[in-house]
A and B are shown apart, each in its own frame.
Chain A
Amino acid sequence: MNIIACVKQVPDTEAQIKVKADGSGIEEGQIKWVMNPYDEYGVEEALRLKEKNGGEVTVVSLGPARAMETIRTALAMGADKGVHICDPAFDNADAFVVGNALAAVIKTLPHDIIFCGQRAIDDDAGQVGAMLAEALNLPQLTLVTKVDYAGTSVKVIRPIEGAQLLIETSLPCVVTAQKGLNEPRYASLPGIMKAKKKPVDVKNAAALGIATEAKAKVAKTIPPPARPPGKIICGDDPAQKAVEVARLLREEAKAI
Chain B
Amino acid sequence: MAKGVMIVAEQRDGALRKISLELAATARKLADQTGSEVSAILLGSGIEGLAAQLGKYGVDKVFVGDSPAMEPYITEAHAAVVAKVVKDNDPAILLLGASVQGKDLSSRVAAKLATGLATDCTDVKIADGKLLAIRPMYAGKCFGEIVTNSNPAMASLRPNVFPAVENAKAGTVVKVDATVDAASIKSKILEVQKDTSGKVDLTEANCIVSGGRGMKGPEGFQILEELADVLKGTVGASRAAVDAGWKLQKDQVGQTGKVVSPNLYIACGISGAIQHLAGMSSSKCIVAINKDAEAPIFTKADYGVVDDLFKVVPELTAVCKKMLA
Residues of A within 8 A of B (CB): 11, 13-17, 19, 26, 37-38, 94-96, 99, 121-127, 129-131, 133-135, 138-143, 145, 155, 159-170, 173, 179-180, 214-225, 227-228, 230-233, 238-239, 241-243, 245-246, 248-250, 253, 255-256
Contact = CB atoms under 8 A, between A and B. Distances in A.
A24 to B, nearest CB: 11
Interface string B193-206: 11100001101100
A238 B142 contact: no
Interface in B211-240: 231
B304 A216 contact: no
Given A233-B303, A243-B315, A249 B287 contact: yes
A80 to B, nearest CB: 27
Contacts of B318: 242
Contact of B193 (A14, A37, A125, A163): A163
A253 B115 contact: no
Given A161-B203, A230-B303, A232-B298, A215 B189 contact: no
Contacts of A145: 249
B274 A239 contact: no
Given A17-B142, A134-B108, A216-B118, A232 B304 contact: yes
Contacts of A255: 207, 263-264, 284-285
Of B75, B76, B138, B143, most buried by chain A (CB within 10 Å of CB) is B138
Q: Is the interface of A mostly helix, strand, loop or mixed?
A: mixed
B306 interface: yes
Contact of A96 (B110, B263, B281, B311): B110
Given A125-B119, A224-B141, A215 B76 contact: no
30 contacts: A13-B256, A13-B274, A14-B273, A26-B142, A96-B111, A123-B138, A124-B119, A126-B107, A130-B104, A131-B107, A134-B111, A159-B250, A162-B195, A166-B190, A167-B187, A179-B249, A216-B147, A217-B146, A219-B132, A224-B140, A225-B143, A230-B304, A231-B302, A232-B293, A238-B308, A242-B305, A242-B318, A245-B312, A248-B303, A255-B263
Contacts of A131: 107, 110-111
B22 interface: no
B149 A217 contact: yes
A139 B187 contact: yes
B302 to A, nearest CB: 5
Contacts of A248: 303
A230 B114 contact: no
Given A160-B100, A255-B264, A241 B285 contact: no
A245 B186 contact: no
Contacts of A142: 75, 103-104
B117 interface: yes
B112 interface: yes
B316 interface: yes
B79 to A, nearest CB: 8
B325 interface: no
A130 B111 contact: yes
Contacts of B103: 126, 142
A14 B119 contact: no
A17 B319 contact: no
Given A127-B110, A230-B298, A162 B194 contact: yes
A227 B304 contact: no
B319 A246 contact: yes
Interface in B265-318: 273-275, 278, 281, 284-287, 293, 298, 300-308, 311-313, 315-316, 318
